[in-house]
Chain A
Amino acid sequence: MNGYLKLTLFELNRFWKIYAALIGVTLISQAGGFVYHLRNYMNSVHRQMAVRGFRNYSEYREAFRGGDSFHSFVSFAEPWFSGPVVLCAAAMMVYVLFIWYRDWLGKNTFIYRLLMLPTERLNLFWAKLTAIMAFVLGLIAFQIVLLPVHLWLFRQIIPPELGISENIFDFVRNHRLLQILIPSTFPEFLVSYGIGLTSVTVAFACVLIERSFRLKGVFGAILYAAACGTALLAPNFSDRLYPLEAFWLRLGIGVVLLAVSIALSWLLLKRKITV
């Protein structure tokens, strides 16, 4: 197995406990919060049925023809649903920096060993980048897998006689976090995950600038990050561009920043990095 694959597996292994905890928290919070709110809803349905003397759910449905849907039930449980998504996103943002700094910090400076491995140093960069992207995509995949689970829970608790819409696609399209995380078209996927990938490589380059030049590097990293951020956002400030032109411009800028950040990181790892 080559150095890159070994290092990637190593990076994946190093984070698995925290990663498993994030997945566990997401499952428990979303499923638990959802079930709790569905049960509350059913309790209120039963109370209303008892008060009004309804004999079945169909009568209740006739009396309360509300606009309830799968989406609105998740909305009731919003903090339980979006909370872990935000937590996972925040954890990944922190880990983008910590995946490097953990090798420098502490009593055992592991970066000595990593930099002395008989493999291209850029493999360290690729391995960490692959691990971050795999973690992010894994969390998204888990979220996608959880949606049918939520739908199953919904069907277990809410009787079909209540006639509540189960359209899961409407839910994904209308949820403000999920519509970013799960793009519905390929260009949207390219933009969302392209920006994500570019941002991670820019962050990696910033860490390596700081690790190479220390105090001066802090200023250098801030300047580099600000320049990249401005470049990425620049198309948003122009009202002379058609949407398609803005899309291609944003994609082009993203590709250039990606290439520059990778080249800069390679140069720093090869020639400037200091332990």
Chain B
Amino acid sequence: MIELIGVSKKYGRKTVLRNLSLTVEKGHITCLIGINGAGKSTLLKAIMGLTPISGGEIRIDGRPIDRNLYERVAFVPDTLAMPPSMSVAGSLRFMADYYRSWNPARASKLMDFFRLNPSDRISSLSKGNAAKLNLLLGLSLDTDYLLMDEPFSGIDLFNREQIASVFTSDLIEDRGVLLTTHEIADIEHLIDKAVLLDRGEVRRAFWCDEIRLNEGKSVIDVMREVYQA
């Protein structure tokens, strides 16, 4: 379980995360929802040790963040984090070189599924293909947790469907997934838990099935209640 306990983050005088606590459980898809500037990306970066926190504590399976974290938690940022001059095959080799948790068979399967050309240069990839490669690099690590920052941002309908299909596949099963998205309508049926963020605070966190069964509301209904109240 990923645990955030009273996490705060400030950029100068601006508070981006305010005493924020939440958990991400294995085997579930948790979605961070919030408008731009709500602190979603900062939260993911803080979990990955890519930005220091000003207060609180982050634990992965009860342990604080260390370099071994990167073999247990994969992060798919909102940009493809590979040099533009590298080829698609080169980026796979790079990952295989550094990560013990790299699963080449899964990478190869995903290359076929996403129809990516190994010889293409990263700089020449379309936005959709760059997003697919980005996802492939994260999914091909045998990690317990997967964090994704806006995996559907700026992607056309068909590519979005292809990426969304990954969430119902065995590629995600048993992992704890934490993702941020603006396109909640596309994946509402896929997520298990929603966390609504506003100005760095958790306004509401709930299990989607429970809210549907007990209150007959969709995630979007709850968002309306929270953000338009």
Q: Is the CB of B68 within 8 A of A118?
A: yes
Interface range on chain B: under 10, 10 to 19, 20 to 34, or 35 or more? 20 to 34
Chain B residue numbers with a CB within 8 Å of A273 are 50, 52
* B67 touches A (CB below 8 Å): yes
Q: Is the CB of B97 within 8 A of A6?
A: yes
Nearest chain A residue, comparing its CB with the CB of B125: A108
Q: Is the CB of A112 within 8 A of B98?
A: no
CA distance A3 to B94 in the complex (A): 12
Chain A residue numbers with a CB within 8 Å of B81 are 108-113
Nearest chain B residue, comparing its CB with the CB of A103: B83
* B56 touches A (CB below 8 Å): no
Q: Is the CB of A121 within 8 A of B67?
A: yes
Chain A residue numbers with a CB within 8 Å of B68 are 118
Q: Is the CB of A14 within 8 A of B48?
A: no
**How many whole Å from A264's CB to the nearest CB in chain B?**
15
* B84 touches A (CB below 8 Å): yes
* B145 touches A (CB below 8 Å): no
* A120 touches B (CB below 8 Å): yes
Chain A 73-93, CB-CB to B under 8 Å as 1, else 0, gives 000000000000000000000
Chain B 46-57, CB-CB to A under 8 Å as 1, else 0, gives 001111100000
Q: Name the interface residues of A1-60: CB closer than 8 Å to any CB of B.
A: 3, 6, 10, 14
CA distance A275 to B41 in the complex (A): 11
Output the residue of B50, B84, B123 with the most chain A CB within 10 A.
B50
CA distance A115 to B75 in the complex (A): 11
CA distance A14 to B90 in the complex (A): 12
Q: Is the CB of B77 within 8 A of A118?
A: no
Q: Is the CB of B50 within 8 A of A116?
A: yes
CA distance A272 to B98 in the complex (A): 23
Q: Is the CB of A275 within 8 A of B70?
A: no
- Among B49, B97, B122, point to the contact of A108 (Cβ < 8 A): B122
- Among B52, B83, B98, point to the contact of A118 (Cβ < 8 A): B98
Q: Is the CB of A107 within 8 A of B67?
A: no
CA distance A14 to B48 in the complex (A): 26
Q: Is the CB of A112 within 8 A of B50?
A: yes
* B14 touches A (CB below 8 Å): no
* B100 touches A (CB below 8 Å): yes
* B206 touches A (CB below 8 Å): no
Q: Name the interface residues of B48-81: CB closer than 8 Å to any CB of A.
A: 48-52, 67-68, 70-71, 75, 77, 79-81
CA distance A121 to B127 in the complex (A): 30
CA distance A271 to B53 in the complex (A): 9
Nearest chain A residue, comparing its CB with the CB of B99: A118
Q: Is the CB of B75 within 8 A of A118?
A: no
* A67 touches B (CB below 8 Å): no
Q: Is the CB of B122 within 8 A of A118?
A: no
Q: Is the CB of A116 within 8 A of B51?
A: no
Chain A residue numbers with a CB within 8 Å of B97 are 6
Chain B residue numbers with a CB within 8 Å of A10 are 94
Q: Is the CB of A118 within 8 A of B70?
A: yes
Q: Is the CB of B80 within 8 A of A108?
A: yes
CA distance A150 to B141 in the complex (A): 54
Chain B residue numbers with a CB within 8 Å of A109 are 77, 79, 81
Chain B residue numbers with a CB within 8 Å of A106 are 84
- Among A14, A118, A119, A274, point to the contact of B50 (Cβ < 8 A): A274
Q: Name the interface residues of B89-136: CB closer than 8 Å to any CB of A.
A: 94, 97-100, 122-123
* A190 touches B (CB below 8 Å): no
Q: Is the CB of A115 within 8 A of B79?
A: no
- Among A6, A108, A121, A275, point to the contact of B82 (Cβ < 8 A): A108
Q: Is the CB of A107 within 8 A of B84?
A: yes
* B45 touches A (CB below 8 Å): yes
Q: Is the CB of A110 within 8 A of B82?
A: yes
**How many whole Å from B144's CB to the nearest CB in chain A?**
14
CA distance A111 to B48 in the complex (A): 13
* A117 touches B (CB below 8 Å): yes
Nearest chain A residue, comparing its CB with the CB of B137: A113
**30 A-B pairs with C-beta separation under 8 A:** A3-B98, A6-B98, A10-B94, A14-B83, A108-B80, A108-B81, A108-B83, A108-B123, A109-B79, A109-B81, A110-B81, A110-B82, A110-B83, A112-B77, A112-B81, A115-B50, A116-B48, A116-B50, A116-B70, A116-B75, A117-B70, A119-B67, A119-B98, A120-B67, A272-B52, A273-B50, A273-B52, A274-B51, A275-B45, A275-B50
Q: A118-B67, A272-B52, A274-B51 are in contact. List 13 more A-B contacts (CB 8 A).
A: A107-B79, A109-B79, A110-B82, A111-B81, A112-B75, A113-B81, A115-B50, A116-B70, A117-B70, A119-B98, A121-B67, A274-B45, A274-B50
